[in-house]
């Protein structure tokens, strides 16, 4: 009896995996388009991370057409990786549902700040009205805990909690108003005076010319940081790379040693085999040679040698295992450079045109044919249907047009929410127990 049960369970699991791991390239591979969609194209936001245990790249982006914001991944199979020429398939890890696109609570995701390997949590960056906010997104309960509000200052983080490290420490290095070492991975806000939160160096927040931190990484005993310096005039932009001993505790400012200045926007840093690799993005087309991946190495006479490896706009850069450098670009490609190969061999990991994806129902539809919309109403945007849940009052929970909210002109769609015009009630806003007056724009008010 027990054996039979186990055999049965294994069969079920295998069957489920086969169905859900089917790779699609277009909607017609998924069944009844556009109710069933192939999620293969994504507009990648800034930030790229590597999951050492699952061997995949993590990033955030908007799925093409449905515009759903998601955390997605591409699996980097170590054996196929080297020299592979065919792009890999996109997998949606989970949707990010906490964005508030309009109104005074406005908060919208603009990138991936980092990724904790020990907790398997993505830390997202939100743009809010007065500042940015950064914190872990919890897919189990679809919530986000914003921990940092760096305001005018930037926040740089390095999650030093990969399994493969010899030291089994879970450390977060961060830089905002100062360079910090936190000997735990924070998932909620904590006191600055926590005994496991040590300041290596103070960056003077009162000095307006003091460059702000953008990126931080560790290699051996050193921390490397990237700062943007706009110069005293404000138009003399340079990215500055500096190094500091990670054992520093409240060290003097000159413990941070500048090792290079670059006249372009650095968008990521990793260190491998005594070489520094920088991602760069050109702000203006005229500076197009200032985009790509650069390798900085020390020559025998102590000078820095700069080698440009590629020439595309980089928005995310991360180091995988075995010397693989991965980077994402403004046009949503992901590439790999094999840093151990003699000619720094490059391959495409993800291509929005050529990569496959997985099938999914259009938003909130269910059923095997993706056409079930229980307790909902179907709304169309740019040829894509969406199943919108109905509220207890019978009105849809989201709208684009007044007509979706009830009878016009008594019903109103404002900030994507349904309302009745002043004084009206009823499921279709059609009830007025008083007298109706019309203003000069021919909008009604119900006077009681």
Ligand X SMILES: *[C@@H]1O[C@H](CO)[C@@H](O)[C@H](O)[C@H]1NC(C)=O
Which residues of this protein are in contact with ligand X, per CB under 6 A? 138, 140-141, 143, 187, 191, 193, 289, 308
Q: For residues 183 and 174, is the Cβ–Cβ distance under 8 A? A: no
Q: How far is the CB of 97 from ligand X (least distance, A)?
A: 12
Q: How far is the CB of 306 from ligand X (least distance, A)?
A: 8
Instruction: Between 202 and 257, name the residue whose CB sits nearer to ligand X.
Output: 202
Instruction: Between 224 and 294, name the residue whose CB sits nearer to ligand X.
Output: 294
Q: How far is the CB of 310 from ligand X (least distance, A)?
A: 12
Instruction: Between 86 and 289, name the residue whose CB sits nearer to ligand X.
Output: 289
Q: Which residue has the tokens 């290596």?
A: 200
Return contacts of 274-281, CB within 8 angstroms, 24+ apart: 274/298, 275/339, 276/224, 276/241, 277/309, 277/317, 277/325, 277/339, 278/226, 278/239, 278/241, 278/317, 279/314, 279/315, 279/316, 279/317, 279/327, 280/313, 280/314, 281/313, 281/314, 281/315, 281/330
Q: What are phi and psi of 80, to 5 degrees?
A: -85, -20
DSSP per-residue codes, 14-39: HHHHHHHT-EESSGGGGSSTTTEEEE
Q: How far is the CB of 312 from ligand X (least distance, A)?
A: 14
- CA distance linking residue 419 with residue 429, whole number of Å: 8
Instruction: Between 22 and 120, name the residue whose CB sits nearer to ligand X.
Output: 120
Instruction: Between 86 and 189, name the residue whose CB sits nearer to ligand X.
Output: 189
- CA distance linking residue 398 with residue 386, whole number of Å: 10
Instruction: Between 191 and 440, name the residue whose CB sits nearer to ligand X.
Output: 191
The H-or-E segment that residue 8 falls in is helix 2-20
Q: How far is the CB of 141 from ligand X (least distance, A)?
A: 4
Q: For residues 173 and 183, is the Cβ–Cβ distance under 8 A? A: no
Q: What are phi and psi of 243, to 5 degrees?
A: -130, 145
Instruction: Between 23 and 119, name the residue whose CB sits nearer to ligand X.
Output: 119
Q: How far is the CB of 166 from ligand X (least distance, A)?
A: 29
Q: How far is the CB of 196 from ligand X (least distance, A)?
A: 11
């Amino acid at each position: 009896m027990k054996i039979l049960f186990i055999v049965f369970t294994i069969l079920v699991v295998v069957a489920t995996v086969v169905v859900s791991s089917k790779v699609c390239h277009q909607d017609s591979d998924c069944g009844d388009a556009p109710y069933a969609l192939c999620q293969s194209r994504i507009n990648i936001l800034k930030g790229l991370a590597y999951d050492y245990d699952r061997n995949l790249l993590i990033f955030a982006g908007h799925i093409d057409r449905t515009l759903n914001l998601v955390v997605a991944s591409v699996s980097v199979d170590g054996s196929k990786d080297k020299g592979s020429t065919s792009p890999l398939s996109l997998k949606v890890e989970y949707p990010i549902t906490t964005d508030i696109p309009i109104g005074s609570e406005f908060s919208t995701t603009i990138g991936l700040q980092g990724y904790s390997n020990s907790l398997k949590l993505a830390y997202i960056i939100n743009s809010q009205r007065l500042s940015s906010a950064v914190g872990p997104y919890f897919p189990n309960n679809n919530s986000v805990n914003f921990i940092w509000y760096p305001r005018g200052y930037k926040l740089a983080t390095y999650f030093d909690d990969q399994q493969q490290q010899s030291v089994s420490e879970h450390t977060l290095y961060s830089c905002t108003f100062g360079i910090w070492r936190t000997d735990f991975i924070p998932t909620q806000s904590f006191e600055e005076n926590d005994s496991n939160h040590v300041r290596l160096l103070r960056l003077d927040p009162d000095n307006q010319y003091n460059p702000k931190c953008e990126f931080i990484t560790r290699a051996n005993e050193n921390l490397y940081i990237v700062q943007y310096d706009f110069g005293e005039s404000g138009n003399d932009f340079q990215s500055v790379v500096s190094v500091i001993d990670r054992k520093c505790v409240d060290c003097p400012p000159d413990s941070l040693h500048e090792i290079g200045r670059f006249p372009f926007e650095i968008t990521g840093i990793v260190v491998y085999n005594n070489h520094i690799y920088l991602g760069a993005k050109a702000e203006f087309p005229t500076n197009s040679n200032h985009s790509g991946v650069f390798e900085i190495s020390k020559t025998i006479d102590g000078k820095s040698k700069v080698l440009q490896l590629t020439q595309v706009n980089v928005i995310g850069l991360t180091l995988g295992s075995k010397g693989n450098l991965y980077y994402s670009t403004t046009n949503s490609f992901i590439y790999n450079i094999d840093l151990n190969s003699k000619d720094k061999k490059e391959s495409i990991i993800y291509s929005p045109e050529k990569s496959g994806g997985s099938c999914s129902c259009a938003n909130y539809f269910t059923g095997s044919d993706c056409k079930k919309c229980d307790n909902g109403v179907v709304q169309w945007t740019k040829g894509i249907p969406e199943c919108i849940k109905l509220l207890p009052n019978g009105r849809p929970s989201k709208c684009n047009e007044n007509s979706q909210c009830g009878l016009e002109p008594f019903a109103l769609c404002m900030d994507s929410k349904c309302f009745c015009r002043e004084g009206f009630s009823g499921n279709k806003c059609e009830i007025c127990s008083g007298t109706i007056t019309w203003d000069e724009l021919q909008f009604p008010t119900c006077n009681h």
